[in-house]
Amino acid sequence: MFTEASLHLRTIRDLIRFSVSRFQEAGLVFGHGTTNAHDEASYLVLHTLHLPIHDLAPYIDARLTPTEIRTVLDVIQKRVETRQPAAYLTNEAWLGNFRFYVDERVIVPRSFIAELLQDQLNPWIENPDEVVSVLDMCTGSGCLAIVAAEVFPNAEVDAVDLSEDALAVAEKNVTDYGLENRLQLIQSDLFTDVPHKLYDLIISNPPYVNAESVDALPPEYLHEPELALGSGEDGLDATRVILETASSYLIPGGLLVVEIGFNREDLEASYPELPFTWLDTASGDQFVFLLTREDLINAGY
């Protein structure tokens, strides 16, 4: 089919239409930067042709060379046959306007916290220039740590992960953004090997998929590191450690911001004494919570 297509397709519009058909026929699953077949096809076609990925309209009817057509079809075929997320095929992922290098050593960035950081956690942080220390727990590719360093220009940022492979990817991203002097990478199992210091802000997008959901993950998600997805039977093992440790790493008035996926009900049932504040994101208010140091201490943590 792909060989036949190379003989008949001529324009970017043709390639996107063909790709959407193949993606839907193959039953691909999205969620690593795009949410549907058309957006993913458009991204892959534009990226492969070295065109602006957010500006399809000027190029939609451009005629392509036979070599360009074959190159695009090779990428589309690989997406269908391997079920790899598009980000692993292009080695890039985006959070808003921030671009990151990614490969299969790290989970594909897709955190709701990035959206909140780009608004400088307003209104919870009144003066972003006064944020001087940030900890990003479970940093993966380093994406949230880098966004934090960019939006809080006076902050020193520590980025923690257990995976040596993930930290190698994070190091590349830190270098790409020129943040080596402000962003330190630390290998640690959560707080175990983090030097004790106090932070204005701790952020974390930890593993939070429960065991039942891990067993049901579609092929695209199985390409991601298992360590970055599941966290015990209910998905909250890492979050428990963070909740029960964070207060000793926060300044008075310091903030803890954690993403927990669809685990809000289970989390609130497990910690009825904690006054979780659920932060609004484009997708709803059930995915990210905020607590102050005092909230944690008053609840005995």
**Residue 208: inside a domain, yes or no?**
yes
In the listed set 55, 90, 125, which residue is the last one of a domain according to the structure?
90
**Residue 98: inside a domain, yes or no?**
no
The CA-CA-CA angle for residues 70, 22, 38, to 5°, reads: 95
**Residue 97: inside a domain, yes or no?**
no
**Interval 164-172 mean pLDDT:** 98
**Residue 59: inside a domain, yes or no?**
yes
**Residue 101: inside a domain, yes or no?**
no
**pLDDT (tens digit per residue) in 102-136:** 999 999 998 999 999 999 999 999 999 999 999 99
Query: Both 113 and 68 in a single domain?
Result: no
Q: Mean pLDDT of all residues in the chain?
A: 94
For residue 252, the model assigns a pLDDT of 97
Pairing of strands 183-187, 98-100: unpaired
- DSSP structure class, residue 201: E
Query: Is the pLDDT assigned to residue 66 strictly greater than 80?
Result: yes
Query: Both 15 and 113 in a single domain?
Result: no
Query: Both 282 and 145 in a single domain?
Result: yes
Query: Both 141 and 274 in a single domain?
Result: yes
CB-CB contact of 212 with 262 (8 Å):
no
Per-residue tokens: 301: 């943590």
Q: How many domains does the chain have?
A: 2
Query: Is the pLDDT assigned to residue 7 strictly greater than 70?
Result: no
Query: Both 145 and 270 in a single domain?
Result: yes
Pairing of strands 98-100, 93-95: antiparallel
In the listed set 24, 59, 90, which residue is the last one of a domain according to the structure?
90
For residue 5, the model assigns a pLDDT of 66
Query: Both 138 and 22 in a single domain?
Result: no
For residue 260, the model assigns a pLDDT of 93
Per-residue tokens: 93: 């992922």
User: With bands split at pLDDT 50, 70 and 90, how would you rate the model's confidence at 3?
Assistant: confident
Query: Both 124 and 67 in a single domain?
Result: no
pTM for the predicted model, two decimal places: 0.93
Query: Both 128 and 223 in a single domain?
Result: yes
CB-CB contact of 89 with 79 (8 Å):
yes
Query: Both 36 and 163 in a single domain?
Result: no
Boundaries of domain holding 152: 106-298
Query: Is the pLDDT assigned to residue 6 strictly greater than 90?
Result: no
**Residue 96: inside a domain, yes or no?**
no
**Residue 77: inside a domain, yes or no?**
yes
For residue 216, the model assigns a pLDDT of 87
**Interval 241-257 mean pLDDT:** 97
Q: For position 36, which CATH number holds?
A: 1.10.8
CB-CB contact of 166 with 106 (8 Å):
yes
Distance between CA atoms of 67 and 160, rounded to whole angstroms? 43
> What is the C-alpha R_g of the chain?
21
Distances in Å between the Cα of 41 and the Cα atoms of 26, 86, 151 are 13, 9, 31
For residue 30, the model assigns a pLDDT of 95
Distance between CA atoms of 5 and 185, rounded to whole angstroms? 46
**pLDDT (tens digit per residue) in 251-263:** 999 999 999 988 9
User: With bands split at pLDDT 50, 70 and 90, how would you rate the model's confidence at 82?
Assistant: very high
Whether omega before 218 lies within 30 degrees of 0, making that bond cis, reads: no
Query: Both 45 and 160 in a single domain?
Result: no
Q: Nearest to residue 132, comparing CAs of 147, 118, 148?
A: 148
Query: Both 43 and 127 in a single domain?
Result: no
